[in-house]
Amino acid sequence: MLDNIDNDLLLKKKESFYNVLQDCTEIFKALADPVRQDILLMFMVFKRLNVTQIVEQSPMSRPTISHHLKIMKMAGILDSRKEATEVYYWLTAGESIEKFKKIIAAIEEIDNHPDKENVSI
């Protein structure tokens, strides 16, 4: 059985991990939708796209695509800039990648803990 110091440390790590997960919730939600996954794949091929270009590659309507782009932008996956009459979007995954790295590091820390089998939750 773990002593109180280890239990306190475990609780702090659990709280820290929970905060990291909460920080990524919007990203997970944005990436969970198959339409947004398809849009993400388009950005992996093309550096910048406007709504018209995305609509041309999708069976979805312009308002639907715009809605999905808004969700992805709010999650920090995309950024945009208006140029003349078009809004262009591009991937901005740097911050998202850092958040995922924190989750992976926290999971690895838990997985590598020598007493993980003795911890009851």
pTM of the model: 0.74
Q: Which fold has domain 1-111?
A: Arc Repressor Mutant, subunit A (1.10.10)
The predicted structure's pLDDT at residue 64: 97
Domain residue ranges in the chain? 1-111
- Tens-digit pLDDT profile for the chain (121 aa)? 445 557 777 777 778 788 888 888 889 999 999 999 999 999 999 999 999 999 999 999 999 999 999 999 999 999 999 999 999 999 997 788 888 888 888 788 777 766 655 555 5
The predicted structure's pLDDT at residue 112: 76
C-alpha distance from residue 46 to each of 14, 23, 34, 57, 100 (Å): 39, 28, 19, 12, 23
Q: Give the residue from 96, 101, 78, 108 showing the smallest Cα distance to 28.
A: 96
The predicted structure's pLDDT at residue 109: 78
